[in-house]
Amino acid sequence: MTDKIAITPVTQPITARVRPPGSKSLTNRALICAALAQGESILTGALDSEDTQVMIASLRELGIAVEASDEGRTLRVSGCGGKLPAGEASLFIENSGTSMRFLTALTTLGHGEYRLDGIARMRERPLADLSEALKQLGANIGLSETGCPPVEVHARGLTGGKVRIRGDISSQFLSALMMAAPYAATDVSIEVLGTLVSVPYVEMTRAVMESFGAKLSSDDRSQNVTVRCDSRYVGTKYDIEPDASAASYFFAAAAITKGDITVEGLHRESLQGDVAFCDCLEQIGCRVDYGENSIRVRGGELKGVDVDMNAISDTMQTLAVVALFAEGPTRIRNVAHVRHKETDRIEAVANELRKLNAEVEESEDGLVIQPGDLQPAQIATYNDHRMAMSFSLAGLVQPGIEILEPQCVSKTYPKFFQDLQDLCSQS
């Protein structure tokens, strides 16, 4: 296994068209709904990566049949009608946050004993707020003293009713509650306490649930959600969009090489909130054109910006690298919750930007980046796929950039480096 990869700079602006693989967020949400549905579902355009493979393997351990074809892009799921076939299972989740949160909620619907665990970093990722919320709905869950996995679920179904949960740690907690809620004995009314982070991901969850037949209502900010117990999922054919978070790397490549890149399969009204990364690029100096089924970004003269990236925090690292090529400082704020991701992303980004000769001021909820004259560097990736993919972009311009432990991209985009090379060769 390669322990580093050198990025080859391009000699001219990149002009290309690309279609990223399917959305991880949509694939794992659709898998949960399809698994609980009555009847068979066919998911097309699915992502085949470590995170989705973990989810599929776990569902199979729970007795739910999932058949993959077309190199993993088509999934046939035989739903269990809300009754988990396996009364006992031990699930190893690796470092997949969506899988851990969503499957913890799903297993509470069963009748039996379930254990969920992961790698060392997963044992540092918070789960207590979700656990406490599920207990309010009648679940019996055990966590370690740190409030992190491993998780022991002593399942007897969910009674339903009213539940309160914090919104400032991870929107995945709310999404997990929502997706399990149709199978509670009574309606579930969820009140979100404080500020809800990553609101577009909750809106995505709602859209997927509704595509499978669920009925729910909420206020304008998704702060209070009610899910009906008489509107359960029905097997369906569901098409998954390309991954908008992955697309951010290609949009950014256009920005920093002054190129012209079109991403196919996405549009302004896509379910994934991360298409709003293009708004950041417009502010920083790019031109963005939206088609019916594509988004085109053309690079320009870049100038630093001040942006709130709370809603699109998975693209924070991408913009941080683009900031290296802008005139003047860039401020990224309101992303404190990314400290609880695959790594502490604020600290990790600051460390690696400094290797590239940027001045970085780190705060609790973000960064201020003052670009300097770029220099060669070996970039540590912290077992975080987004560190590897975002910082590889600097190597398109600056010689001598090496990405350490590049295989971490297998979490969401196993063929990223090949696709980046293919993109550059189109010019």
Q: Could you report the per-residue pLDDT of 28-83, keeping only the tens digit for each?
A: 999 999 999 999 999 999 999 999 999 999 999 999 999 999 999 999 999 999 99
Mean pLDDT of 294-320: 97
Is residue 374 scored above 90 in pLDDT? yes
Which among 48, 51, 274, 314 is annotated as catalytic?
Answer: 314
**24 Cβ contact partners less than 8 Å away, ≥ 6 residues apart:** 47, 49, 51, 52, 98, 243, 245, 412
Residue 426 confidence (pLDDT) = 82
To the query of whether residue 314 is one of the catalytic residues in this protein, the response is yes
Is residue 427 scored above 70 in pLDDT? no
Q: Which residue do the tokens 């790397």 mark?
A: 249
| Cross-strand bridge partners of residue 295 | 263, 290
Mean pLDDT of 155-169: 95
Residue 220 confidence (pLDDT) = 61
Mean pLDDT of 240-265: 98
d(CA 347, CA 324): 17
User: What DSSP character marks residue 259?
Assistant: -
**pLDDT per residue over 184-233, tens digit each?**
999 999 999 998 999 999 999 999 999 999 999 877 656 789 999 999 99
Mean pLDDT of 265-294: 97
- The half-sphere exposure of 301 on its side-chain side, counting CA atoms within 13 A, is 2
Mean pLDDT of 74-102: 97
Q: What percent of the chain stands above pLDDT 70?
A: 99
**pLDDT per residue over 398-407, tens digit each?**
999 999 999 9
| Cross-strand bridge partners of residue 50 | none
Residue 75 confidence (pLDDT) = 98
The band of 245, judged by pLDDT with boundaries at 50, 70 and 90, is very high
Q: In what order do the strands lie in the sheet with 88-92?
A: 88-92, 111-117, 151-156, 141-143
Is residue 167 scored above 80 in pLDDT? yes
Mean pLDDT of 264-275: 96
Span between the terminal Cα atoms of the chain, in Å: 30
d(CA 396, CA 401): 9
Q: What is the chain's mean pLDDT, rounded? A: 96
Residue 237 confidence (pLDDT) = 98
**33 Cβ contact partners less than 8 Å away, ≥ 6 residues apart:** 41, 179, 208, 209, 211, 212, 214, 233
Is residue 2 scored above 70 in pLDDT? no
The band of 354, judged by pLDDT with boundaries at 50, 70 and 90, is very high
Q: In what order do the strands lie in the sheet with 237-239?
A: 66-69, 74-78, 40-44, 237-239
Residue 218 confidence (pLDDT) = 79
In this structure, how many other beta carbons lie within 10 angstroms of the beta carbon of residue 69? 10
- What is the token pair recorded at 242? 């390309």
Residue 211 confidence (pLDDT) = 98
Residue 1 confidence (pLDDT) = 45
d(CA 160, CA 229): 8
Mean pLDDT of 148-162: 97
